[in-house]
Amino acid sequence: MEIPLELPGEEILYQILHFIAPISAGLRKQLSEYLKRESFAKKHVLVRPGEVARKIYFIREGFARAYYHDADGREHTTWFMGPGDFMISVYSFFTQQPAAEKVELLADSQLLSITWDQLQSLYAEHPEFNFHGRIITQKYYIQSEERAVLLRTKKPAERYRMLLAQYPQLLQQASLGQIASFLSITQETLSRIRAAPLN
């Protein structure tokens, strides 16, 4: 679904939810009361390792990534998210346990947020909202599985092209090192891929 991003942030969110299934006036009213507009500068960290992710975010404007460091200190980017995406530290938010990853903004960002407690209240008071939650969760679970398959079955150049197709603005938002770590290749390999002529 193509959502016109020139709309106010709340309206973009409501259109996405309505596309999944109509939302009642009561649900929209309570959601409007809960939603918080937040603005952060580039490099702001939303969640750090060891912290519990208390909020889920909707990206109105901006770009973000999650990453962790392995035992040898190497950095591994686990996801990128852009305008129109929902963003959380998945394990930490849904279990309310400490996060193992860091969630960082790669650009000045305009976000909408809602807390874990508020989300549970919406699910309890508006049972139809559980369907929206299931479809959104399903979408991102599928994306995670697609990435796992991509890393196992596609050549690095294919992985790179598919990532750019998903996020055309990526090269303006993320460093080559961050992109390489997401693709599980070295920065040198990524540089060779970028320098090679397109087939």
Q: Residue 138 falls within a domain, yes or no?
A: no
Please state the separation of Cα 122 from the chain's center in Å. 21
Q: How far apart, in whole angstroms, are the C-alpha atoms of residue 101 and residue 89?
A: 7
CATH code of the domain covering residue 82: 2.60.120.10
Number of domains in the chain: 1
Residue 68, classed as helix, strand or coil, is: strand
Write out pLDDT tens, residues 99-109: 999 999 999 99
Q: Which domain holds residue 103?
A: 9-128
Binned at pLDDT 50, 70 and 90, residue 29 comes out as: very high
> Does residue 43 contact residue 174 with C-beta atoms inside 8 Å?
no
Write out pLDDT tens, residues 55-96: 999 999 999 999 999 888 889 999 999 998 999 898 899 999
> Does residue 113 contact residue 55 with C-beta atoms inside 8 Å?
yes
Instruction: Please determine, for residue 199, whether its predicted confidence score (pLDDT) is greater than 60.
Output: no
Tokens of 164: 């750019």
Q: How far apart, in whole angstroms, are the C-alpha atoms of residue 92 and residue 101?
A: 9
Q: Residue 101 falls within a domain, yes or no?
A: yes
Write out pLDDT tens, residues 120-130: 999 999 999 99
> Does residue 109 contact residue 59 with C-beta atoms inside 8 Å?
yes
Q: Residue 133 falls within a domain, yes or no?
A: no
